[in-house]
Amino acid sequence: MRGFVGLVGGLSVLAGAAMAEDAIVVTAERRAQAIEDVAASVSVLGEDDLTRIGADHIAEVLARAPGVNLNRGSGAEHLTAIRSPVLTGGAGAGSFLFLENGVALRSPGFANVNGLFDAHYEIASAIEIVRGPSGALYGANAIHGVINVLTPEPGKDFSLSAEVFGDTEDRYKIKGTISGGKGAQRFFAGVSAVSEAGYRRDAGLDQQKLTLRHIFDNDNISIDTIFSFDNLEQETAGFIFGRATLLDRTARRTNDFPDAYRDAKSLRFQSTIEARIGENTVLKVTPYGRWNQMEFRQHFLPSQAIENNSHWSVGAQSAVYHEAGRLSLIAGIDAEYTEGALSEFQARPRVFSFTQGLHYNYKVRAINASGFVQAEYQIAPATYMTAAARVDGTIYEYDNLTDSAIVGRFLRLDDQTNRFITASPKFSVRHEFSDNVDAYISYARGARPPQTTDLYRLQINQTGDQARPEQIDSVALGVRARVSERVNIDIAGFWMEKRNFFFRDSDGFNVTNGKTRHAGVEADIRILLHDRLRLESALTYAAHTYRFNRPTGRATESITKGDDIDTAPRVIANTRLRWSPTKRAWLEAEWVSIGSYFTDAANDHAYEGHNLLHLRGEAVVSERLSAFLTLRNVTNKLYAERADFAFGSERFFPGEERTFGVGLRYRR
């Protein structure tokens, strides 16, 4: 019943695209283009949206895009779903491609399940979400979707902004930007910092981010250079156990893992060189480099082991764009070299088969090379056909830095080299029925090699078939319509089949040949009810099911074909009503609805879902200064950001109770 209420409420209007007067530009082809020219499901959250939200966590931002559901973890952590269940482990890391300005935050085989905490979304000018397989142009890890965080482009005129914020959960945030230019040179700098005591005991967080951007632009060539830095230090809280704890306002704030922590740092550099090499031809080359390091305690395991992982990469993206009348061509080559390392050490005495001492210590060298081509042809005055294909080649060289042996439950492999080749084709047709209505139908395949941890970080009960490249095939149909001057609608339906889904079952064994199906409908609409009143909403109805049988030693955790995948609510809705009584003030009410979902693979246990109400507002105090406020979880609902069932117990990440915040924003 709760899911039905969410469905009806979301249908009142659905949103995320743009008002009729807005021009939405996306970079789905690694270049700027109007969203109506893209035969794909793309949502764009612009600078105004991001400023209004004032997110404490990127999950608050992405909740406004249909088909997207982030489970907020402790501190900056998260688990992601895009046209999928919420995925964990290697699947959670490798099924989504997280970009900043078109370049992946992490190397494909070394992805991080919490990967978005590196992105500088706090000062972003826009966030793009591409839903569904997008490997033809983006490559590995674009299985279920792509999230691209865009840094503000420097302006020619000097501008300055600053913001301070604090709330009743002892969370304090500051951020600032500066931009300007002269002649062919333009620059931008953005910085942000957050310090919070944590909703739960011993769960504080401190994070600082810096982004610098410089653009040189003359008539024939432009060079766009971006540098980013992120430092994260957090104390980490794990699950709470039992429904009674979730519903107890004191007990839900406890933390059974006071020694848990996560420290992470990252550096990224990229420089896009764009040159016109003919009247109808443009060349773009983006060399880049990245480095990251992370240390954390595995509080979720009896070992409480300390893991250190890191990798650095250098690479380049390239693309040639050629326009020849009705034909538009894109072709390019991408290449990357990565060196990564992982170690795991248990200081505490042996617990069951978790042995004291070194568990793993290895390095992996990786080479990724890809070639892609896309052709769009105008087959009729209002009809466009697109065909694209990409081939990715990956080589992993694994170097075991300790002895090859079985130590307790841990299996340390001999040195080895593994090679993978994947192909990602795409075909679509887009038709413009009028200036206000267009539709598309597309087929796409996503493919990715296994994560390095799925290949080399094994245990003794994981000696079966090696992880194989994952593949997903998708058919999507979408319609974008400008119903009137006040209404924009974007509706998409999708059907996807995935093979070689790699995960670990409840017995701890590797599953290398899992099959799943994902089918649903998404809607994105904004309506201007009145010159001062807007209603916006995003809605998803989707079924994510297993398409194979998997008996386990724990009969209650056996997988049966046709069952829902756990942590996959069928209904997700996000609705906002924004009132602007004057040009100097606005007030927004946001309703977030998460439908019920199963918390175990056998569908024997479930979380009932939740509905939340948030309020936000801003008022201009002077020409350059404004004050804003937030009231999150207005009804003081006791809910779970994430619910799970494992080892015979319900467990939860509790969501924050009612929280009031206020801030000041300065612009010139």
Q: Quick one: average pLDDT of 548-571?
A: 87
* Mean pLDDT, all residues of the chain: 92
Long-range contacts of 643-649 (CB under 8 A, 24+ apart): 643/567, 643/597, 643/599, 643/607, 644/239, 644/566, 644/567, 644/599, 644/600, 645/566, 645/599, 645/600, 645/604, 645/605, 646/506, 646/600, 649/241, 649/242
pLDDT higher than threshold 90 for residue 8:
no
User: How far is the C-alpha of 70 from the C-alpha of 574, rounded, in Å?
Assistant: 13
> How many H-runs (helices) and E-runs (strands) does the chain carry?
7, 39
% of residues, the chain, pLDDT over 70: 94
Quick: pLDDT tens for 83-122: 999 999 888 889 999 999 999 999 999 999 999 999 999 9
Q: What is the CA radius of gyration of the chain?
A: 24
- Residues ≥6 apart with Cβ < 8 Å to 251: 240, 244, 245
Question: Which tokens in the block code for residue 60?
Answer: 């608050």
Query: In terms of Cα–Cα distance, which of 411, 508, 400, 417 is closest to 458?
Result: 411
Quick: pLDDT tens for 293-332: 999 999 988 999 999 999 999 999 999 999 999 999 999 9
The pLDDT, as a whole number, for residue 512 is: 80
Choose the weakest-confidence range: 78-92, 330-344, 448-462, 522-536.
Answer: 448-462
Query: In terms of Cα–Cα distance, which of 42, 195, 190 is closest to 122?
Result: 190
The answer to whether the CB of 471 falls within 8 A of the CB of 444 is no
The pLDDT, as a whole number, for residue 305 is: 96
pLDDT confidence band for 594 (50 / 70 / 90): very high
pLDDT higher than threshold 50 for residue 18:
no
% of residues, the chain, pLDDT over 90: 82
pLDDT higher than threshold 70 for residue 23:
no
Mode of pairing for the β-strands spanning 33-34 and 145-150:
unpaired
User: How far is the C-alpha of 191 from the C-alpha of 175, rounded, in Å?
Assistant: 5
pLDDT higher than threshold 70 for residue 28:
no
The pLDDT, as a whole number, for residue 38 is: 86
The DSSP secondary-structure symbol of 68 reads B
The pLDDT, as a whole number, for residue 10 is: 37
Structural domains of the chain ordered from first start: 2-667 (2.40.170.20)
The answer to whether the CB of 331 falls within 8 A of the CB of 373 is yes
User: How far is the C-alpha of 655 from the C-alpha of 657, rounded, in Å?
Assistant: 7
pLDDT higher than threshold 90 for residue 197:
yes
φ and ψ at 61, to 5 degrees? -70, -50
Quick: pLDDT tens for 128-165: 999 999 878 888 889 999 999 999 999 999 999 999 99
The pLDDT, as a whole number, for residue 17 is: 35
The reported pTM is 0.94
The pLDDT, as a whole number, for residue 462 is: 67
Quick: pLDDT tens for 496-531: 999 998 887 776 677 888 999 999 999 999 999 999
Query: In terms of Cα–Cα distance, which of 175, 196, 197 is closest to 120?
Result: 175
